[in-house]
Every structure is written in C-alpha cells, then in structure tokens.
C-alpha cells in the first residue's frame, strides 16, 4: 500500500489510446525487424546536403578520373535539390546558404549547365546579391583555388610545420577535434603545393569585386591572429627547405597511418577527400594501394535512386551502422522484444565484433588508458567515441543468450567492462564528456582565420554526458565517482530556461530528451528543481498538434529554441523525458500525463501504414550552425522506443488504478 503515493489523475485520455499505442509500437517493431541485415546490423541512410556531391565531382576532376556518366548522375541529384529561388540550403526547409550554393553552381557548370539558362542565371544573381564568391567560407574558396578560380595567397596560411608542434603547445594538431585534425593535416600539404588544375571555365559571373572587411566587433585575439597570418604568408615565400621537406614527409606518414580498413579516413567525407588530394600532390599514383583503397571505399558511400529525370547518385558524408544498431536494439527491447530474441542476439554478436581494441589519437591525452569502446562507422578503429560506447553498453545490457552459454556471456561482460573503463577514462577535467577526445577544449583555436566553418574542438556536451551517466546507471553504477561528477556537470549546465543544449541532435529538445532520462535513471528525483524546470520547458514547447519540433536555426537564433514543425524523432525525445519523469510519483503531474497522451496521440496519428514515419526535416547535427544530418532511421527507432515505454507506462498506470479501486471497495 505504501508504494502507491496517489491515485493516478484522470487526464482526459482519449479512449483506446493505450491500445493505439500498443498497435503502433507493434507495427513499428515489425518494420524495424525487417530492416535488419543478415549479419545482425542496422543502417539507415545518413543524408546531408549537396556539398558532398559537388565536392565528389571536383575531387574526381582534380584526380583526373571524372567521367560523363558519373557527372550527369550527380548533377541530376544536385539539380533536384535546387529551390525555386535558385539556391541550396544546408538542411531541408532551411535558409539559402551561400557557400553551398556556390559549390553546387560550380559542379553544375562542370556538368555543362549553361550559365545563360534561367536556373543558372537565377543562381548567379542570388550569389552576387549575397556577397559573391568573395563572401564564401574558407573551405569553398580552397576548392576554387584548386582549379585556379581563387588566389591561394588570399587564403589563410596553413603551413605543414604545424605537424611538429607537441601536444602541450597551443595549435598542435591534437588541439583540433578529431574530424578537424584529419582535415587540417592534408590541407597543410595542399597549402604547400598550392595546386592549380584549371577548369575549362571561370566564375567571373559570381564575383562582386568586394572583399569583406573584418567585423567591426573583432576581438583583439582574432585581430592578432589575422596579423600573424600575414607573417606566415611572408614565411611561405621562403620556408626553410629542410624543415619543410621533413614536415611534408611527417604529415604524409601521419595521414597514411590513419587510413581505415574501408579505405577512408575517420569514416567521414572531408578528411577522406582532402587526404587523397594531398597524397596525389605528394606523388602517390592512382595505382598505389592507398589511393586504390581510398577510391574503392567511396563507392560504398554512394546512394543510387531514380529521379524524375532519370537515375541519380549521391554521396553519404558518413555512415552510422554501429550507432543505428545500438539504437535499434534499445528500441526493440523497450518495445517488448525479449532479450534472447534472435534479432537482438545477432545484433549483440555483431556489436561485439566491432569493439575497438587498439589505441588511437585519443591516447595522446590519455596515454595510460587501455583501449576499448566503439566507433560510429563500419571501419574507424582510430576514433572510437564515448557516445556510441555508452549507447552500445545500454544495448548489450538488454540482450541475453537464449542458451545461457557461459563463454558468450563472459565475452559480453568483458567487452562491456572494457568499454565502461575506456568511457570513464575519457572524462574531461570538468566532469563532462566530449565525444572523441578528453579535454579537447582549447577555444583559442576558434580564433584562427582558417576556422570560419563548423566546430573545430570537441568539448563536453550535455547529450554525450547524459548518455554516459545513463549507461553507468543501467550498469548498476550510479554512484561511481565518475557518474556523480557527470551528474553534477549536467545540473551545472542546465540552460536558464530549463532545457539543455544538444550538440549532436536538434537541439534543446534533443539535449533535454537525453538529460532527463539519464538523471532519473541515476536516481535524481523528478521533484528536483532542475527536473521540474525541464518538465515545464517541455510542456510549454509542445505544439498544438501534440508533437514537438525544433528548427535547426535555433543554433544561431534563440527565437527558434524549442520551436519548429513537429517531427516523429523530436516528439519521441520529448516523450522519453516526460515518461521518465512520470515513472516517479513526484513527476507524474496531470500536466505531464496530459502532455504524454498528446505526444503519443501525435505518433499514432502520423504513423504510416508500413509502421514508420515521414520525416523530411533534419534532426541530426554535425556542426552546430553549419552542417546537419537527416538520419533516416531516427524516424523509426526513437518513436518505437517512446511508444514501447508509453505502453509500459499505460500498463502500470492501469494496474495502479485497479489497485486503488480494490482498496476503495474495501
């Protein structure tokens, strides 16, 4: 009797909602099970924007391997993404982006599109009106410089001697986030050679003749680095030859040492393409095994489909099978699939085979830490990440061997222990966790003239820290000192409005949806002031249709925080937080229960007949403010997880109601 704190409040729940939730979960569960690969993994497409495809065509042109068929297939895809005003955006429904539009324009010009045609003319007019090529980001101007369309001397200096700086010295390559350092090192080689491989056309129609001035509010540090850049340009005219040769050799060796089994670098597009161009400049022929593997690996990142004008091809910026598989296991188990089900067992076996047992760049900051953990991609042994590792621990905890085979169980436990130890050892000094490195927090690097695009460091974030805290709790270690420091970090980093910032998903909805379940799992009461503020924030930002959405513009414009068109994945994130609160009687207010009902109703009403959901909007984040992702599996795994937990919540709620009825009859 003492376990029943209060009679469940009647929220005016639509009749049959628990059953509708159950049926929706069943349909989603069957759809997800049908997507599993025979080897045990899941992988949804990871869609980004057309810069991937434009740069793929320019890479092939640079290497001399462009062919008309490939160019036309990619050009069709790029054209299909052009909006009515002639522009391209970095995410579906987002504002036009100048650099993306310039790169797409150059790629279509390479494909033979006539600049006098109405579409290209409209694009060129928009580009000029918005600053022209002169106002594009540094990376876009590097691509132009490769083909003689921009002057190398008007780009920030990136000398190869950077490779010599030890980890203790600011601006060494390990001060950059792993994705950035793997791009910067090959770019230093390209900077030395300053190649120019002219295209049969120019881009004068995109120029304004006006070079943007430094911002009026430029701080002293940024101004200092801009002046220092001029000195580096002067050094570049007469570098110390022996030092430069040694730097080029060491940078080349650094690049080759980090090529992955699939031929790529870091499992992502930018370091992949820049590494191949740098090695080409260093004299590596296309027949060299490193180059052959690199080109062959790119083929595995291609997506082909039919469009209105014929077949098309596009390039994924990355692939996420390890992450997707972990999320799928969690979703299926939480939706009622037994831990010993063959689908979960085969997924666990595949995940065990993906464990990383060699040291990577992370060991520069943690040299004594033993290897462990998991990465995001099929092949990325150099860069496991704490976020994937936490999610895989959560997944493996939900699987069991149907035969109770002791050898297999010991293997799972050993892998989980190694993963937890590595994950814990990657905690930063302040108590939070970044994704790939510990204490990768030197913000000084953001002031460099080169750094005008994307996140270049990997500081702790709320979403990653939350997943790790939740993993500790599920593993039965909520009072581990590292978990307690993580909890304190999360409480200290709550936003004034009650939400949490989301680094790897959009945005405060993602951060809050990760933190609240983690804190409740770790034993923080739903009545804690921080969780009460989070609950209020979620309820206040629920849309009229019952769903939740947050536009990616919230990374730059606070007016968009928690605001946007409802999506299935973001609705699920909010539901996961509210359901976690509602499990605690102190958090199960009428407002929370009503918000849960409305969110579940939104998911049941918007579900497709095949069990999944439509989701054109991007809800994943690569670089806040610059690069975004549409994870095609998010629209399925997160709603399924939320519905599975909602079904459980309704079942417990009904049992409590029945208990009260029996007590009252007595």
Catalytic residue positions?
387
Q: What is the pairing mode between strands 46-47 and 627-631?
A: antiparallel
- Number of H helices and E strands in the chain, helices first, is 22, 5
CA nearest neighbour of 272 among 358, 195, 187, 357: 187
Name the DSSP letter for residue 29.
H
| Whether 314 contacts 77, CB under 8 Å | yes
Residue 157: φ, ψ to 5°: -75, 140
User: Residues 552-559: contacts with CB within 8 Å, 24+ apart?
Assistant: 552/91, 552/94, 552/506, 552/507, 552/618, 552/621, 552/628, 553/94, 553/95, 554/506, 554/507, 554/508, 555/507, 555/621, 555/624, 555/625, 556/625
Q: Which segments of 359-461 does DSSP mark as H helices, in order?
A: 386-396, 406-425
Q: What is the pairing mode between strands 46-47 and 302-307?
A: unpaired
| Whether 631 contacts 652, CB under 8 Å | no
How far is Cα 271 from Cα 57, in angstroms, rounded to an integer? 16
Half-sphere exposure of 542 (CA within 13 A, CB side): 28
CA nearest neighbour of 109 among 131, 133, 89, 92: 133
> What is the token pair recorded at 543?
């849309």
Containing 635, the helix (H) or strand (E) segment is helix 634-665
> What is the token pair recorded at 71?
């160019």
């Amino acid at each position: 009797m003492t376990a029943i704190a209060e009679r469940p409040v009647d929220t005016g729940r639509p009749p049959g909602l628990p059953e509708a939730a159950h049926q929706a979960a069943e349909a989603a569960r069957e759809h997800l099970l049908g997507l599993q690969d025979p080897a045990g993994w899941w992988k949804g497409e990871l869609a980004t924007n057309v810069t991937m495809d434009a740069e793929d065509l320019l890479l092939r042109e640079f290497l001399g391997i462009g062919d008309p068929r490939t160019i036309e297939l990619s050009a069709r895809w790029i054209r299909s993404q052009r909006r009515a005003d002639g522009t391209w955006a970095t995410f579906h429904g987002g504002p036009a982006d100048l650099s993306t539009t310039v790169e797409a324009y150059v790629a279509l010009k390479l494909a033979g599109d006539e600049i006098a045609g109405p579409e290209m003319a409209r694009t060129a007019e928009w580009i000029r009106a918005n600053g022209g090529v002169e106002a594009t980001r540094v990376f876009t101007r590097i691509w132009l410089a490769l083909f003689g369309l921009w002057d190398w001397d008007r780009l920030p200096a990136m000398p190869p001697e950077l490779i010599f700086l030890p980890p203790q010295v600011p601006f060494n390559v390990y001060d950059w986030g792993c994705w950035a350092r793997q791009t910067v090192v090959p770019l230093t080689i390209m900077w030395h050679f300053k190649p120019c491989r002219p295209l049969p056309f120019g881009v004068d129609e995109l120029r304004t003749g006006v070079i943007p001035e430094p911002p009026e509010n430029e701080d002293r540090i940024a101004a200092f680095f801009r002046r220092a850049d001029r000195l580096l340009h002067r050094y570049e005219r007469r570098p110390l030859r022996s030092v430069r040769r040694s730097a080029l050799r060491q940078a080349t060796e650094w690049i080759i040492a980090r090529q992955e089994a699939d031929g790529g670098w870091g499992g992502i597009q930018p370091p992949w393409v820049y590494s191949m161009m740098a090695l080409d400049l260093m004299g590596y022929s296309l027949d060299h095994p490193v180059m052959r593997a690199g080109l062959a690996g790119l083929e595995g990142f291609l997506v082909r489909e039919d469009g209105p004008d014929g077949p098309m091809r596009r390039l994924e910026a990355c692939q996420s099978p390890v992450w997707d598989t972990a999320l799928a296991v969690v979703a299926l188990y939480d939706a009622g699939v037994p831990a010993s089900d063959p689908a979960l067992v085969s997924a666990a076996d595949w995940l065990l085979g993906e464990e990383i047992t060699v040291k990577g760049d992370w060991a520069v900051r943690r040299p004594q830490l033993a290897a462990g953990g998991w990465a995001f991609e099929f092949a990325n042994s150099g860069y496991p990440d704490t976020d994937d590792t936490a999610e895989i621990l959560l997944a493996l905890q939900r699987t069991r061997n149907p035969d109770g085979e002791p050898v297999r169980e010991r293997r799972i436990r050993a892998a989980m222990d190694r993963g937890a130890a590595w994950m814990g050892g990657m905690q930063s000094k302040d108590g939070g966790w970044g994704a790939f490195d510990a204490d990768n927090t030197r913000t000084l690097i953001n002031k460099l003239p080169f750094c005008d695009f994307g996140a270049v460091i990997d500081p702790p974030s709320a979403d990653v820290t939350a997943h790790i805290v939740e993993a500790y709790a599920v593993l039965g270690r909520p009072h581990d000192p590292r978990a307690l420091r993580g909890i304190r970090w999360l409480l200290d980093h709550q936003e004034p409005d009650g939400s949490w910032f989301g680094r790897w998903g959009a945005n405060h909805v993602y951060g809050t949806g990760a933190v609240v379940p983690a804190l409740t799992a770790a034993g923080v009461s739903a009545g804690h002031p921080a969780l009460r503020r989070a609950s209020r924030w979620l309820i206040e930002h629920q849309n009229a249709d019952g769903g939740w959405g947050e536009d990616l513009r919230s990374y730059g414009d606070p007016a968009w925080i928690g605001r946007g068109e409802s999506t299935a994945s973001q609705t699920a994130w909010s539901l996961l937080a509210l359901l976690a609160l509602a499990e605690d009687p102190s958090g199960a207010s009428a407002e929370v229960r009503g918000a849960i009902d409305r969110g579940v109703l939104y998911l049941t009403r918007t579900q497709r007949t095949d069990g999944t959901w439509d989701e054109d909007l991007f809800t994943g984040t690569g670089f806040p403010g610059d690069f975004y992702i549409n994870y095609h599996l998010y629209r399925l795994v997160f709603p399924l997880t939320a519905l599975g937990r909602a079904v459980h919540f309704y079942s417990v709620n009904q049992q409590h109601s029945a208990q009260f009825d029996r007590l009252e009859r007595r």
